[in-house]
Amino acid sequence: MKFLGTISHMSNSGKLIARSSKTPHFGALIFDKNKKKIGKIANIFGPTKNPYISVRLFKSINLNKYSNSESDNLYVAVNSKKKERKSRKMK
C-alpha cells in the first residue's frame, strides 16, 4: 500500500473527496489508516500535480465515521504483479 492523500470532505452524493499527491488508477482499492478496505476510486479531477480523488465507499462502511474525519490519511493498493495477456498464434 502507498500513501494516497488526505480526506477533504464528504460530497452530497455520499462519496469521499480526498486530495492526492499522485494520480492513481481508476477503480483502485482504497484503505484507511487501519488497513481496512473502504472503497474504490470513482473519479479523478482537478490539477494534474495534486488531483482530487472521489472515492465510492462500500455499502458496509459507516458514512458517519468518515464524514467527520477530515485530514485522515488514505492509502491505495499497489498491484505488484501485472497480468500478462496471452497472445493468440495466428495461422
> What would the pLDDT profile of 8-65 be if each residue is shown by its tens digit?
888 888 888 999 888 888 889 999 888 899 999 999 999 988 899 999 999 888 777 7
Looking at the DSSP bridge assignments, the partners of residue 10 are 16
Is 0.85 topped by the overall pTM?
no
Region of 89 on the Ramachandran plot (φ > 0 left; ψ -120 to 50 alpha; else beta): beta
Task: Please identify which residue in the block is written with the cell numbers 481496512.
Answer: 36
> CB of 76 within 8 A of CB of 1?
yes
> CB of 28 within 8 A of CB of 77?
yes
Return the DSSP state at 4: E
pLDDT of the residue at 39: 92
pLDDT of the residue at 23: 86
C-alpha cell at 88: 493468440
Distance CA 76, CA 13 (A): 22
